[in-house]
Amino acid sequence: MLGLLGLRIFETTGADIADLGEEHGHRVLRVCGKGTKIVLVPLPPAVARAIDRATGSRTRGPVLLNRRGTRMDRHAATRRLHNLAVAAGIQIAARHADPRTTTRYDRARNNLDRHPNYILAACMASGT
């Protein structure tokens, strides 16, 4: 969710099963971002499958659980992400240093078909 959707830690750990839905034929996650702004984030198939595995047969509650079965907090999520990145030998780059970079994404904000999440997922799937 963090890597392919570009969500912030608090957006990811705050996601509930009730926030999952469909919009115009797309599986989406309703995210409450900074300033309590609600946005719909389309879920590429790989992310949707991972969320389905994480939620299992549960119909309510948080998407991500910790080992005790309660909502994963941002500290545990950060540790898990760091450990995965170290094991994979990669660095995590979240957000753009230059805000102008994100303006091109804003043009397609209302068109879920052209959302950057799908572009990123396609690139990762093709290995380029």
**CATH number assigned to the domain comprising residue 106:** 1.10.443.10
User: Is 0.85 surpassed by the pTM of this model?
Assistant: no
Split into its structural domains, the chain has a count of 1
- Write out the DSSP string of 23-38: ETTEEEEEEE-GGG-E
The residue that leads in pLDDT, 95 or 46, is: 46
Task: List, for residues 25-67, the tens digit of each pLDDT value.
Answer: 999 999 988 888 898 999 999 999 999 999 999 999 999 999 9
The residue that leads in pLDDT, 10 or 93, is: 10
Residue 101 pLDDT exceeds 70: no
118 within 8 A of 42, measured Cβ to Cβ: yes
Residue 69 pLDDT exceeds 90: yes
State the average pLDDT over residues 75-82: 87
Tokens 């946005």 appear where?
39
pLDDT at 94: 46
Domain of residue 9 covers: 2-126
12 within 8 A of 75, measured Cβ to Cβ: no
